[in-house]
Each structure stands twice: as structure tokens, then as C-alpha cells.
Amino acid sequence: MGKNVLLAQSGGPTAVINSSIVGAFEAAKRSGKVDRIYSAVGGILGVINEELIDLTAIPTEKIQALRFTPSSGLFSCRHVLPEDMNDEEYKRIFEVFEAYDIGYFFYNGGNDSMDTAYKLDKYAKMHGIDVKVNGIPKTIDNDLFGTDHCPGFGSAAKYINVTLQECAHDTFSYPNSKTVIIMETMGRNAGWLAASSCLAQYNGNQVADLIYLPETTFDLDSFLGDISDKLSKQTMVFAVVSEGVRGADGKPYFSSSKNTQDKFGHQQLGGLAAVLADEVKKNIIKRVKTVNPDISQRCASHVMSLTDYEESYLAGAASFEFAANGISGVMSAFERLSDDPYKIDIKPLTLDKCANAEKMIPRDWINENGNNVNEKFKAYALPLIQGEVAIRYKNGLPDYFVLDKNNIEKKVLKDFIK
Amino acid sequence: MGKNVLLAQSGGPTAVINSSIVGAFEAAKRSGKVDRIYSAVGGILGVINEELIDLTAIPTEKIQALRFTPSSGLFSCRHVLPEDMNDEEYKRIFEVFEAYDIGYFFYNGGNDSMDTAYKLDKYAKMHGIDVKVNGIPKTIDNDLFGTDHCPGFGSAAKYINVTLQECAHDTFSYPNSKTVIIMETMGRNAGWLAASSCLAQYNGNQVADLIYLPETTFDLDSFLGDISDKLSKQTMVFAVVSEGVRGADGKPYFSSSKNTQDKFGHQQLGGLAAVLADEVKKNIIKRVKTVNPDISQRCASHVMSLTDYEESYLAGAASFEFAANGISGVMSAFERLSDDPYKIDIKPLTLDKCANAEKMIPRDWINENGNNVNEKFKAYALPLIQGEVAIRYKNGLPDYFVLDKNNIEKKVLKDFIK
């Protein structure tokens, strides 16, 4: 078995994705079983292109700063490995693994990244190569199958709730102005982020009067009816919509660029709040405000959830520990033991069980009308936003860390041209 | 002279406006010169409608929470007092003052609010009424005349920079995807907020490649030229635009609802980033992201500037101290003594000098091309975002305070019907 570790990240960033990487890094270091710990620049593409950086050469203080830095600190990519296991790409990847004496590869990402880790583990096993490959989950969308929740979700949820709560204070400060506020959250197929907004409170009451999720059917007339109905009883109405809400045909209700799809066949979403605000202005009331935290909801490390930050670290550490115990082809999955007191366990889940599968909000956590969530959802979400992380500031701004891409080593001389 | 104090807020909220109120409240309390300290619900309209709450009856712990609560905690309004000093409204206001034995009235707001304070002081002096009326400045726009800077600006600037810095980490995590990011900030006539974005850094470099301000002329072709030019030399381009940028005709380049104006004759702005993003997509590159912190930039108390938080408190306290020393008709103004070490003094500025006057960014703090700011601006802005405030959290979210409007007293029996 190789003596070295290789870490990489892919997919969309989160506030705590680097906490997972530092968790894996420090667990490997502590173990005394490994020599070098490398990172690939830009996910699996960084492996293919042989852009590796020796993290063991970086001062401890910088690694500490990496832990609270948002977004993929090792740089990310969106790349799908070929279905054909005989493809040259696999040969190339394992050639790089060999050149760097890699015995452990950890891939930190969402559904698509778990698919990559699954394929690499399969290839290694098929060819009798002793490289342990495990996945470290992350996604603000919280839609990975087989885990109670995903690292990154709690911090995104906290940011959304803090933002919504502050917007409520802003809006209620004009007590006599009837106003509709529409907040849009990310969430392609699953509504976890939109649903999480149920936690924000103003004066002891839930801020979000209405929450619309991809798990139920979105209908413009019902939406406008809901707004009118609330507005007949109260001065302010707060509606939160998931960008991925779907019509009766099961297709996204709105896509800002309906003809463009990303490499994975996903439609580009976003901009729904503005569209709905126009409808409310046209049909009900002129005073409508939109709040779209956009990419901030996935990278706001300045207001991370301490629970999320620590669990992400532990998920990273566990992925190494599983590998050190000979377990390969698994993702670190959270199992919830109890809500109150909140307690979880981290278990290995075989990657074939989670790759490309999506987890939706159970229907019985959503109210009957499909326009809000209930106490079951709240009991689930509340523990995940607990605690604050005092990150380091410098000159009034977070002292985030950026990896120096000039430190790339070159061992495999020939370039890979596919 | 009356024994009691009346506090009120008006105009758009800030993250630290309540810190000013608590500053005035505690200075009055400490002085031993006053009996009751009231707040009016919803600014001067709360006085006219006789909706007063006795703040002295509120537990200290709640007042402490009020201090870190965003947005006008006493509730706000937008109301202009009549130019005709014989109008019934003035009589009514002073009738309420008399009924509550008010000897001190402090109005916490922006340009329009200083105008209200100015008129009330003038009325009192005209009629020989011994009520001291002072203004406590606040505005994230930082455009009040006669003060080095305004309470609220530093925190908004900090939020904008933290957000921009985090978005930079998010964007740079895909190192090979050419991307244009357009961030929009508030700022109707003056570009202070957009300009403040010059402080955000990624890997030691300024994030904002381009900054467009109302102080210079905005031209779409030049804007697109600037973007193209930067994009020919680098992978990511960050442009920050003030919502109030103006064309060669001096009119706002973009208004989302060109035909609607607020009570003060201001045009409703906002949405410029999306419009410019469309132009960039049409003419240059498809991968464009927008960031619009919208109302969050004025109410994000969770990431306040400690400097701003403390200065706001002192501005409030000073307004009482001026009044206690017999000075009426002034605003607490900041005078900067030095940038480094940063040092200010708080002085009384007569309200006729600041009411309705606007302060723009000096032309020599902006670069020659008018598409960024220079070191002079940075030296000005940097001290204002320094320090962090550890606010209190409860159940994972800020433990903000809401004033109970059920505690309103009624002393003047007859209603005021104009």
C-alpha cells in the first residue's frame, strides 16, 4: 500500500467543506501511518492533469485558516468519469496515484462526486490496486441519500435564517406598510434549504408564512391565493420559495435559461423570486421585496453553524479512519441517535448506495396544503444550526486562506492528452 | 423645562441605529437629570398619533438586546413635516410633548430626519418652548453633510466586503471558468457603499476590479469595454455597481419602476446588476453571476463593525449631552483627527447646515477612468470596518429584541385628525 494521502474536492462549494478536508488531513497526520498528504488542484481534473500540492509543507497556522475558509479551498471542478471502466482516464488517474505513492484518496463533494469516488474504488478493486477510496459528503442541498443530513447544510440553513430574521426586522420597522417579501433559496430537486427557513423568528413567531418546495406541486394561482389570504389577515407576508419548485408536469416552474444545461444535464435555475414578485405586483400589491442570498448561502463562513463545522471535520476524519481500518468505497454518513439532546453517530455507507441517489423531504414533514413545514421538520433542522464559530479576522475582514498554486509538483512527465 | 426624554427613529434602517438610541437612553439615565425616557412608535408619526412607550420600564437585559438588534427598533416612518410652520401638525406635536413633560427630543435618521429635527427646533425657538431637539445621524448611504462619516455606513460596508470576499472564494474555486461577477450596492446619489467594496481581498489582491459610482458618468459601452479589457487579461472579473449610477444626462441609468417615486420624490432604484448581467451575456460572455445584498446590507447586525457600533452609541450619547448643556438644533457630527491611528471627535453641527444636503465622494478619491477608487478612499474607509461585535444568540439565531406595541400610553385624549 502507498504511504501517501490525496485529498480533493468537487462540485459546488459550502462554508464548511474545508473543515472536512482539515479533518481528514489531521486524522491522517495523527495516525502516524502516512508520509505525505497531497491535494489535487480542482478535483479529479487536478489528478488527471497532475496538479498536486503537498499540504504537509503548509504551516499549521495556514491549515487552521483553511478550516474556516469558505468554498472549495483545494479548488473544485465538475467532471464525470466515463462509464466505460476501460477508458484511458482511469489508467491516467492510477498512474498519478502510483507516481505519488498514493494509498488513500478522499473525494469531498455531493452526489456527482460520490459517483466519482464509487467508480475509482470499483476500478481499484477490479485491478487489485491497493488504494482506499472514500467519499466525504458535502452539499448545502442536503439531498445525499443514506445520511441523516449533509455537511454544509447546517451552515447554509443558519445563514438563510439569520438573513430572513434580519430582513423581518427591516420590514417590520415600517409597521403600517403592507408588504410582501419573497425569499428565494437554492435547492434543485429537494427543498431542504427553503424548508430550513422555518426556524427564523420575529417576536417569537415564525417569519416564513409560506414555504414552497420542489416536493409538492407549485401552482401560480394557489401561490397568489395564499398571499392574498395571508394579506387579508396581516400586514406583512413572508414567502420562501425553493428555486426548484415544480409544476404539475414535474418540471421546474422557472428556469432563467431554459435552453442551457450544465454537464450533468441539470437546468440552470435561479431568479424565481423576481418572477413571482412581478406576479404579486401585477395581481395583488405593489410593495413587494425580494431577497435572494444566491451564492452567499453556500459560502458564508462568517456565520457558520458550529455543529456543522465540527461535524464536517469529523466526517473528514472518519473517512480516513475507515480507510486506515481497511474500509474502502464508503461515504461517512450521519446517523441521528436523538433530536433532544442532539446526538449523532458517523458510519460508513457503501458508495453504491448513495451515488446519484437523492433524498427528498418526507411528505409528512410538510403541511397538508403543501405551503409550509411542520414541527417534525423543525425538530430535525433545529439542532443543525446550533452554535457559532469565532473565525479569525484581519483588518476588519475574515482572514481566509488561499492555496498557492505555484507549489505544484511534477512527477509524471508525460502529459495526458485524451 | 420638561423632565422627560423622547426618542424616535425615521427613514431606512441600519444595523447600528439602535446602538445610537441605547447610547442616548443610557446617557440620559446616567445624567440623573431626567425622569422618564419615552420612545415614539414609528418616528414623528408616532408622536402625532400619540403612540409612546416608556422605555424606562423595560428590563436592562432587553435594552442590551435592543442595542445589537438591527433596523429601527422604535419603528420607523417616512414623513415630511409641512413647510408652513403654522400647520396644525406642529401644534399637535408640541401638545404631545407637553402632555408627556418632554424636555428633550432626539430624532435618529438620515437627511430627511435631520430636516424634521431642524423644523421642530425652529418651531420651539420661535414659540419660546423649552424643548431641546437634536439629531442623531444614521445612514448606510454615508451621504450626510458635515460629518466625516455616518453611523451605519461602517457596518454596511463590512457586510458588503465580507460578502464580496466570500463570493470571491466561491468564484475562484473553479479556477478555469471565465466568469464575470456583478455586485450591486445601495446608494441613491452618492457611491460610498459601492466604493467601500474596494476593501475586500482575495489572496492579497483587491477583489473589485471595477467600481462604478453615481459621482462619475456611467456609460454602457465603456462598462462593456472595461469588462472585455479585464477579461482579456484574467479569468475572473468582479464589477461593483452603485444602484444610483447616472448617465451623461445626470439621471439614474436604471430604475426598476421609472414611474414610481416615493414621498420625498426619490425614484425607486435596484435591479441594475441583473440588467447589466444581461448586457454582458449578450455581448461578451455567458457565465455571469449577480450578487445583490439588497436590504441585508442595511440590517446585517450579525456582522457589524465594532467601530461603527461603538461610534453610533457615542453619537447617541453626545446628542443628549449637548442638550443637557443647553445646546439644541444640532446633529452629532464626527470629525476625523487621524486615519492611523484612527481617532475621531464628536461635535455639534447646527442642523440647518446638514438637513437635506448631500455629501459625495471627492473626485480625487476616484481613479482617472472613473471606474475604481484609489488609496485615498481606502485610507478613509478601512478604519470604519474594524472590529467585530459578539452578539447574543439563542437557539442558533441572533437573540434580537422587539418592542411591545401593546405598552402604549394615552395621555392626550382627543385624536388628531388633520
Q: Quick: pLDDT tens for A291-344.
A: 999 999 999 999 999 999 999 999 999 999 999 999 999 999 999 999 999 999
Contact A291 B286 (CB under 8 A): no
Quote the pLDDT of residue A412.
65
Q: Is B169 on the interface with A (CB under 8 A)?
A: yes
| Chain A residues within 8 A of B159 when measuring between CB atoms | none
Q: Is B294 on the interface with A (CB under 8 A)?
A: yes
For residues A222-227, average pLDDT: 98
Which of A174-188, A386-400, B350-364 shows the lowest per-residue confidence on average (mean pLDDT)?
B350-364
- Mind listing the pLDDT tens digit for each residue in A89-121? 999 999 999 999 999 999 999 988 999 999 999
Q: Assign A258 a pLDDT band (cuts: 50, 70, 90).
A: very low
Quote the pLDDT of residue A242.
97
List of residues 6+ apart from B164 with CB closer than 8 A: B183, B197, B200, B207, B208, B238, B240, B291
For residues A336-357, average pLDDT: 91
| Chain A residues within 8 A of B295 when measuring between CB atoms | 167, 170-171, 289, 291
Q: Pick from A245, A258, A219, A12: which is nearest to A112 by CA?
A: A12
Which of A231-240, B295-304, B315-324, B349-358 shows the lowest per-residue confidence on average (mean pLDDT)?
B349-358
Quote the pLDDT of residue B413.
53
Q: Assign A271 a pLDDT band (cuts: 50, 70, 90).
A: confident
For residues A55-77, average pLDDT: 96
| Chain B residues within 8 A of A295 when measuring between CB atoms | 167, 170-171, 289, 291
Quote the pLDDT of residue A264.
47
* pLDDT(B256) > 60: no
For residues B125-134, average pLDDT: 98
Q: Is B162 on the interface with A (CB under 8 A)?
A: yes
Quote the pLDDT of residue A188.
82
For residues B95-120, average pLDDT: 95
Q: Is B406 on the interface with A (CB under 8 A)?
A: no
Q: Is A267 on the interface with B (CB under 8 A)?
A: no
* pLDDT(B262) > 50: no
Contact A166 B398 (CB under 8 A): yes
Quote the pLDDT of residue B376.
98
Phi-psi region of A36 (alpha: psi -120 to 50; beta: other; left: phi over 0): beta
Q: Assign A207 a pLDDT band (cuts: 50, 70, 90).
A: very high
The alpha-carbon gap from A345 to the nearest alpha carbon of chain B, in Å, equals: 21
Contacts across the A-B interface (CB distance below 8 Å): 170
| Chain A residues within 8 A of B199 when measuring between CB atoms | 395-397
Of B166, B200, B260, the CB nearest to A296: B166
ipTM reported for the complex, 2 dp: 0.95
Of A75, A203, A390, the CB nearest to B175: A75
Contact A165 B301 (CB under 8 A): no
The alpha carbon of B45 is separated from its chain's Cα centroid by a whole number of angstroms, namely 20
| Chain A residues within 8 A of B396 when measuring between CB atoms | 158, 161, 199, 305, 382, 385-387
Q: Is A280 on the interface with B (CB under 8 A)?
A: no
Of B199, B274, B293, the CB nearest to A397: B199
The alpha-carbon gap from A2 to the nearest alpha carbon of chain B, in Å, equals: 29
- Mind listing the pLDDT tens digit for each residue in A143-179? 999 999 999 999 999 999 999 999 999 999 998 889 9
Q: Which residue of A has its CA nearest to B305?
A: A396
User: Grid coordinates representing A410?
Assistant: 511534477
Distance CA B244, CA B271 (A): 11
| Three-state secondary structure readout of chain A | CCCEEEEEECCCCCCCHHHHHHHHHHHHHHHCCCCCEEEECCHHHHHHCCCEEEHHHCCHHHHHHHHHCCCCCCCCCCCCCCCCCCCHHHHHHHHHHHHCCEEEEEEEECHHHHHHHHHHHHHHHHCCCCCEEEEEECCCCCCECCCCCCCCHHHHHHHHHHHHHHHHHHHHCCCCCCEEEEEEECCCCCCHHHHHHHHCEECCEECCCEEECCCCECCHHHHHHHHHHHHCCCCEEEEEEECCCECCCCCECCCCCCCCECCCCCECCCCHHHHHHHHHHHHCCCCEEEECCCCHHHHCHHHCEHHHHHHHHHHHHHHHHHHHCCCCCEEEEEEEEEECCEEEEEEEEEHHHCCCCECCCCHHHECCCCCCECHHHHHHHHHHHCCECCCCEECCEECCCCCCHHHCECCCCCCCCC
Q: Pick from A378, A331, A296: which is nearest to A151 by CA?
A: A331
Contact A300 B166 (CB under 8 A): yes
Q: Which chain B residues in 233-262 lie under 8 Å from chain A, judged by CB atoms? A: 260
* pLDDT(A236) > 80: yes
| Chain A residues within 8 A of B179 when measuring between CB atoms | none
Of B75, B393, B405, the CB nearest to A173: B75
Of A291, A300, A382, the CB nearest to B294: A291
Choosing from B112, B141, B143, B209, the catalytic residue is B141
For residues B171-190, average pLDDT: 93
Q: Which chain A residues in 129-158 lie under 8 Å from chain B, judged by CB atoms? A: 158
Q: Assign B50 a pLDDT band (cuts: 50, 70, 90).
A: very high
Quote the pLDDT of residue B266.
47
- Active-site annotation holds for A340: no
- Mind listing the pLDDT tens digit for each residue in B138-163? 999 999 999 999 999 999 999 999 99
Quote the pLDDT of residue B261.
45
Quote the pLDDT of residue B353.
83
User: Grid coordinates representing B378?
Assistant: 481606502
Residue of A291, A292, A397, A406 to mutate, testing the B interface (most B Cβ within 10 Å of its Cβ): A397
DSSP string computed for B284-319: T-S-EEEE--TTHHHH-GGG-BHHHHHHHHHHHHHH
The alpha carbon of A255 is separated from its chain's Cα centroid by a whole number of angstroms, namely 21
The alpha-carbon gap from A269 to the nearest alpha carbon of chain B, in Å, equals: 12
* pLDDT(A414) > 70: no
For residues A28-45, average pLDDT: 96
Q: Which residue of B has its CA nearest to A291?
A: B294
Average pLDDT, chain A: 93
Residue of B48, B166, B295, B395 to mutate, testing the A interface (most A Cβ within 10 Å of its Cβ): B166
Q: Is B202 on the interface with A (CB under 8 A)?
A: yes
Of B72, B165, B295, the CB nearest to A400: B165
Q: Is B388 on the interface with A (CB under 8 A)?
A: yes
- Mind listing the pLDDT tens digit for each residue in B199-238? 999 999 999 999 999 999 999 999 999 999 999 999 999 9
For residues B372-390, average pLDDT: 98
Q: Is B86 on the interface with A (CB under 8 A)?
A: no
Considering chain A, what percentage of its residues have pLDDT values greater than 90?
A: 86
For residues A246-252, average pLDDT: 91
Element (H, E) at B25: helix B17-31
The alpha-carbon gap from B166 to the nearest alpha carbon of chain A, in Å, equals: 6
Distance CA A315, CA A22 (A): 10
Quote the pLDDT of residue B414.
62
Choosing from A112, A115, A121, A141, the catalytic residue is A141
Considering chain A, what percentage of its residues have pLDDT values greater than 70?
A: 94
Quote the pLDDT of residue B412.
66
The alpha-carbon gap from B71 to the nearest alpha carbon of chain A, in Å, equals: 5
For residues B330-359, average pLDDT: 92
Question: Which residues make beta-bridge pairs with A366?
Answer: A373
Q: Is A296 on the interface with B (CB under 8 A)?
A: yes
| Chain B residues within 8 A of A302 when measuring between CB atoms | 162, 166, 303
Q: Pick from B214, B232, B212, B234: which is nearest to B222 by CA?
A: B212
Q: Which residue of A has its CA nearest to B13?
A: A170
Q: Which residue of B has its CA nearest to A384?
A: B396
The alpha-carbon gap from A201 to the nearest alpha carbon of chain B, in Å, equals: 9
